[in-house]
Amino acid sequence: MRSQFSHQPFINVGRSPPFTWMFLLFLCFIAFIATLSLSPVKTLDSVDSSPLPNIYKNYRKLREQAASEVLEIRSLSLGITQPRELDICGKERENHVPCYNVSENLLAGFHSGGEFDRHCEVSGQGNRCLIRPPKEYKIPLRWPAGRDVIWNGNVKITKDQFLSSGSMTKRLMLLEENQIAFHSEDGTIIDGVKGYSRQVAEMLGLASDSELNQAGVRTVLDIGCGFGSFGAHLLSVNVTTICIAAYEMYGSQVQLALERGLPALIGNFISRQLPYPSLSFDMVHCAQCGIMWDAKEGAFLVEVDRLLKPGGYFVLTLPSTQQLSVGPKHSTIFEPLDEFAKGICWTLKAQRDESSVWQKTADADCYVFRRQGGMPPLCKTVDDLDAYYQPLRSCLSGFSGKRWAPIQNRSHVHNGYFSFQLSSDELAVHGKTFISGVHPDDFYEDFSFWVSSLNNYWSLLTPLIFSDHPKRPGDDDPLPPYNMLRNVMDMNAHYGGLNAAFLEAKKSVWVMNVVPVGVPNTLPLILDRGFAGVLHNWCESFPTYPRTYDMLHASGLLSHVLGTEGCDLSDLFLEMDRILRPEGWVVLCDKVQVIEKARVLAILNRWDARVIELQNDSDQRLLVCQKPFLKK
């Protein structure tokens, strides 16, 4: 017997036992009769011949009521009592970001810049409450307009702070009283990012930035990204750019970039490595990012070398007061940088105005036979595949692995993107899979599965499945998806199959692929596909600001968290609510017992929630939720 579950108030069990059980038996009888009288209806996307799971889509009132009563009875039998919805946090927590508290870090003994790093271990639990949006918060504009215009009430920057910041006003324009724009009406980007991007491409020997893919550049790590204009432009030429910048109280670069719907993370490497394995990016870019690259005996450059793929590029643009082109031999800034770069097997490829481009060697033997005098030694252990906020290292690593492959060897393109399918040769190096356990057949089967699943997901993203969902005044009847999706976080990304399915379906969204710590690390494979991704421990808060993702997706993550010592599923749901924007979506797939627990937590979070049964009679269920727009 198949059914679909819904979110209804829990039954009050505070009456005499005999009457209670008679009432429960009566509900069971009604549920049984109603279920027999209704036959399941498949979605329009379902195909009978498909071996993949499809989702039923029949939300008639009587069936929903009967299924809900069955679920309530099951909850009662498990001893689950009526939950109490979480309170709303005060105004002071509207922009709360856990793990970044300088005063607490100083008290814990961190100094010399370490107090600005991420330290979840010293963060207090705080109040268990739901973070509300600012009073002036508005749903972001749809793309592509939303990439260039945002509501200034959605970010931590006031009009006075905006007008008093010379660096900001060079890059932003206040269009109206409540909007910030990142380009003029004729489409010319104020900070000259188009011309700058073209200049960088020319310094690589290319005719234009549209040829970056052909040169092997698909993924860029943009350090101190300003407000994301460089990444926004590169997105238009099919280059994935991840912005990272330090946590800031006001005018945050990361928050502004994410509000535009662009990939961004809070992060710096003052004392710790970034949460990426070696050989993760094709280019690392720093334009006036404020890092003293010659500090700590070159440890920051060593970290860039670790992150760069063979043949990758480091692009450094300094403020005009510190320009490198005054004459390399007479520049006190350039000379030590270039000397250190030579010692770690980089070559100065080009220099123009304030910008310089170095290229990392594609010859791994260079590290072994290079000139040693005063240069960083080789690390004794070179396997840092699971690097997760480890201390910065002053030794070189990543050059002796089977993933060492020059970016210039790439050739094929798929749908305008570098092939997100990957060839068998790329999946297997010298006859062995370069990620343990990944076989080409599994890889392609995973892709096919998510193409089918995405079709079903898309049909579920509508408030029509929530009978009590309020329609905002003035809105027309909604069509799926109810609100636009600009970005999606896949909280347990596996091979990045959902990301590939979005591309295959030509949906205009990007995906932050998160690989949880403690599962097989497939992040190198995800990054090699040209996708955005990061390692993360879901027992901790995610390094982002509140209200920064339109949709959260997780398959199997809840079971992983429940099986991890020290993890609390209720904390995970609080964190999901923090990073999800109002009216955003949550799609969770897991075992039926876990989904029932998750449904109770969704009620505590005040989400609209429905449990959906899959067609293949498995023990898996979907929990589809939408976060309401809480004003109080």
**pLDDT for res 577:** 97
For CA atoms 182, 186, 190, 196, give the dihedral sign.
positive
Run means of pLDDT, 10 residues per run, the chain, 632 residues: 34 40 59 48 33 39 47 55 78 89 83 82 78 91 85 78 48 67 50 85 94 91 88 90 87 87 90 91 92 88 95 89 45 79 94 92 87 76 72 85 80 42 48 56 87 86 59 52 80 95 89 94 89 95 95 96 91 96 94 94 94 80 91 65
**pLDDT for res 416:** 36
**C-alpha–C-alpha distance, residues 524 and 534, integer Å:** 10
**pLDDT for res 250:** 72
**C-alpha–C-alpha distance, residues 286 and 324, integer Å:** 14
**C-alpha–C-alpha distance, residues 37 and 32, integer Å:** 9
SS (H, E, C) 510-532: EEEEEEEECECCCHHHHHHCCCE
Burial 21-44 (b: 16+ CB within 10 A, else e): eeebeebeeebeebbeeeeeeebe
**pLDDT for res 340:** 92
Q: Are 302 and 278 in contact (CB under 8 A)?
A: no
For residue 57, the one-letter residue type is K
64's enclosing H/E stretch is helix 61-77
**C-alpha–C-alpha distance, residues 254 and 226, integer Å:** 8
**pLDDT for res 39:** 40
Q: What one-character DSSP code corresponds to residue 227?
A: T
Cα distance from N-terminal residue to C-terminal residue, the chain: 41
What's the pTM? 0.81
**C-alpha–C-alpha distance, residues 418 and 572, integer Å:** 34
**pLDDT for res 427:** 52
Q: Are 38 and 560 in contact (CB under 8 A)?
A: no
Q: Is 479 exposed, middle or buried (0-12, 13-18, 19+ CB in 10 A)?
A: exposed
Q: What one-character DSSP code corresponds to residue 342?
A: H
**pLDDT for res 534:** 96
Q: Are 463 and 626 in contact (CB under 8 A)?
A: yes
Torsion of CA 539, 544, 545, 546, to 10 degrees: -50
**C-alpha–C-alpha distance, residues 454 and 485, integer Å:** 13
**C-alpha–C-alpha distance, residues 521 and 526, integer Å:** 10
Q: Is 408 exposed, middle or buried (0-12, 13-18, 19+ CB in 10 A)?
A: middle
